[in-house]
Amino acid sequence: MAISNYFAALVDEFAELGLSQAVISPGSRSTPLAMLFEEHPAFKTYVNIDERSAAFFALGLAKTSQQPAILVATSGSAPGHYLPAVMEASHAHIPLILLTSDRPAELRFTGAPQTTNQIRLFGQFARYFEELSRPQEENFWTYPRQVAERAYSHSLLETPGPVQVNIPIDEPLIPSLEVENFRKGRHTFQLSPKEVREEAFHFEGDMLILAGPQSPYPEKILALSETLHAPIFADPLSNLRQSGHPNVIDSYEAFDFSGLPLPENILQFGQTLTSKRANHWLKDFHGTWISYDETGQDRNPLGNTSYLTMNFPKSARNKPSDTFLKDYQRAQEITRQKLNEVQNETDLYEGKFLQLLQEQLPDDSQVIFANSMAIRYADLFWKSKKSSMKLFGNRGLNGIDGTISTALGVAAAAQKPTVLVTGDLALIHDLNALVFAKMGKLSLAIILFNNDGGGIFNHLAQHGQPYFERLFSTPHGLQFSALSDLVGLDYHKVLSYQDFEESLKLDGLRLYEVQTDKDLSAKIHKRYLES
């Protein structure tokens, strides 16, 4: 029986499981897999010549669809470029299925070209590993389907994340594309959906809810806050700020915490808050801290969690306080009024651009924030407002790599107007993704805050230290307008706030460059944080 039939069963089983997106990086050894995914009618395929960019793009696809995205790489160093995105997916609990093509096992350790030990290549960051054995006559059709099922289930059950299937492939590499080969050995496989069970807690005293990035079940969190009369510190990436609910607090990064009553209980959902000021305040909390996580992982790096639950908390409380919530709502109103004064800025400042962006975007759009300062500006200036808009970011490891690729994946999966807000260093880290975007005719509007280097270090302890410019600020002097000629994007240099409002469009591949001054932006930013 032809080896291509064997791989066809593997590909078809992924389709039977409901998967539909595969990201392929060209290479010789992966030929049969690439051609079979391309041939299978259930799959939409993307071809990205850069494996690192491909993996971050798949991360974006999976973030949006909540289903595993499939990656196909050739042998040798190629799958090694997946590692940064695999690390991010592992920490952010995003399901990926990595199909790493390989040379036959007997070529390992012999100096054969494009051959290395790919067994458990991603180590602790892969939820599961399996190597597809060479085909045997017995179980020829069913075994590869079982491997696909195991990879799929391990990427979703317990703690979602990346899984690796290593696939040694013998020559000849060109497969048969007979449709019948996809259909052999089909059988039914069902993965039981996770049940959202509830667990009762008897709360005494006032409660503060923390909704970090990737907070689950937003409607249930809002209902719980109403029952508990609890304010919600809503990270921009929790998407609870899009509810417009009066219990949502969005300006805590600029709070004067000395004037607020301390909660006696904290209930945390999702990852840790982006806000440095809020986390500093919470570091000395000594009350009851309950962390909810379906996977049983404590996502509170402050180390003061009292109770970790995998079941959604429901409340039981005798006498909710009337004043606690009102105190936080009053602080929210006063602080937000202060932050809204950013509209009076005349110098080009990132925070004002974010407020203008939020006002201009259509309700069904998507926004991806790069790490470093972009997400911090969003944390401070993105207001609570009723909207169906979705916000995204890579906060599993908070890296600046793969940002454009992730944004392209988010855009491609949802086919909605999508904007990436990024700094210049994050953009530079992933310029290859723009080549992929051109080849794939993908749409993305990129708002680039270019302060010629690492502006975040102007806010950190390194500022003013010896070798600051060379080691941390790292000015580069790049002319991003050249990307217009290089990849054919529509480039626009933003000269004023009015220019930004009048020029912003969300179709095609566009780059809006806003040149800002690191020192001036840091000075303005500090002013809004002062109590």
Which pLDDT score is estimated for 267?
96
> Over 80: is that where the pLDDT of 1 sits?
no
Percentage, residues of the chain above pLDDT 70? 96
Mean pLDDT for 475-497 is: 96
Q: Say what the pLDDT of residue 337 is.
A: 96
Please tell me whether residues 284 and 376 are part of one structural domain: no
Q: CA end-to-end span of the chain, whole Å?
A: 74
Predicted local confidence at residue 174, as pLDDT: 85
Q: Is residue 178 part of a domain?
A: no
Report pLDDT digits (tens) over 338-384.
Answer: 999 999 999 999 999 999 999 999 999 999 999 999 999 999 999 99
Is residue 201 a contact partner of residue 313, using CB atoms and an 8 Å limit? Answer: yes
Residue 117 scores a pLDDT above 80: yes
Same domain, yes or no: 154 and 205: no
Of 114, 139, 173, the one marking the end of a domain is: 173
The DSSP line for 150-211 is HHHHHHHSSS--EEEEEEE-PSP-PPP--THHHHTT------PPPP--EEEEE--S-EEEEE
Encode 136-153: b = buried (16+ Cβ within 10 Å), e = exposed. eeeeebebbbbbbbebbb
The whole-angstrom separation of Cα 480 and Cα 467 is: 26
Q: Tokens 């790919």 label which residue?
A: 118
Strands (DSSP E) along 75-139, which ranges? 96-102, 128-131
Q: How many domains does the chain contain in total?
A: 3
Output the six-digit token pair for 117.
Answer: 């030990």
For residue 97, the enclosing domain spans 3-173
CA distance 440 to 442: 5
pLDDT band with cut points at 50, 70 and 90 for residue 193? low
Q: Are 283 and 351 within one domain? A: no
- Give, in order, the Cα–Cα distances in Å from 328 to each of 230, 299, 386: 9, 24, 20
pLDDT of 461: 86
Q: What is the CATH number of the domain that holds 492?
A: 3.40.50.970
Domain final residue, candidates 299, 334, 369:
334
pLDDT grade, residue 331 (50/70/90)?
A: very high
Give every CB contact of residue 464 below 8 A, 6+ residues apart in sequence. Answer: none
Query: Are residues 350 and 485 part of one domain?
Result: yes
pLDDT at 477 over 90: yes
Q: What is the C-alpha to C-alpha distance for residues 351 and 458, in angstroms, rounded to an integer?
A: 16
Here the tokens at position 443 are 């749409």
pTM across the whole model: 0.91
Considering the domain architecture, whether residues 113 and 8 belong to the same structural domain is answered as yes
- DSSP secondary structure of 331-365: HHHHHHHHHGGGGG--S--HHHHHHHHHHHS-TT-
Spacing of C-alpha 428 from chain mean position: 18
- What is residue 2's predicted lDDT score, i.e. its pLDDT? 67
**Statement to judge: residues 103 and 205 lie in one domain:** no
> 96-102 and 69-73: which strand pairing?
parallel
Tell whether 130 and 12 lie within a shared domain: yes
Q: What is the pLDDT of residue 32?
A: 92
143 pLDDT above the threshold of 80: yes
As a residue count, the chain comes to 531
What single DSSP character describes residue 512?
E
Q: Is residue 182 part of a domain?
A: no
Residue 112: inside a domain: yes
Q: Give domain status of residue 193, yes or no.
A: no
pLDDT tens, residue by residue, 210-222: 999 999 999 999 9
In one-letter notation, the amino acid at residue 343 is Q
How far out from the chain centre does Cα 410 lie? 9
| Token pair listed for 99 | 């199909």
359/314 same-domain check: no
Average pLDDT over residues 286-303: 88
Contact 243, 218 (CB under 8 A): yes
Model confidence at 316, in pLDDT bands (50, 70, 90)?
confident
pLDDT of 187 > 70? The answer is no
Q: Are 429 and 417 in contact (CB under 8 A)?
A: no
Pair 381, 304 in one domain: no
Residues 259 and 301 occupy one common structural domain = yes
**Distance, CA of 236 to CA of 389 (rounded, Å):** 11
What average pLDDT does range 307-315 have in this prediction? 87
Per-residue pLDDT, 197: 76
Higher pLDDT, 127 or 184: 127
* Averaged pLDDT, 115-135: 95
Q: What CA–CA distance (Å, rounded) separates 221 from 210? A: 10
Q: Does residue 484 surpass a pLDDT of 70?
A: yes
pLDDT in tens, 4-57: 788 999 999 999 999 999 999 999 999 999 999 999 999 999 999 999 999 999
Q: End of a domain among 334, 362, 382? A: 334
Q: Report the pLDDT value the prediction gives residue 294, as an integer from 0 to 100.
A: 85
pLDDT at 318: 64
Helix axes 432-440, 403-414, angle to 10 degrees: 20
Tell me the three state secondary structure of residue 366.
Answer: strand
- With a cut of 70, say whether residue 495 has pLDDT above it: yes
What is the per-residue pLDDT across 425-466, written as a single tens digit (0 to 9) for each? 999 999 999 999 999 999 999 999 999 998 888 888 888 888
Residue 291 lies in a domain: yes
Give mean pLDDT, residues 304-332: 87
pLDDT in tens, 103-112: 999 988 888 8
- On whether residue 339 sits in a domain, the answer given is no
Name residue 73's beta-bridge partners: 100
> Does 359 share its domain with 495?
yes
Q: What is the CATH number of the domain that holds 274?
A: 3.40.50.1220
Same domain, 458 and 404: yes
What band does 179 get if pLDDT is binned at 50, 70 and 90? low
Supply the mean pLDDT for the chain: 92
Give percent of the chain above pLDDT 90: 76
CA 361 – CA 511 distance, rounded (Å): 16
Do residues 29 and 378 touch, judged by C-beta distance below 8 A? no
Nearest by Cα to 313 from 285, 298, 292, 342: 292
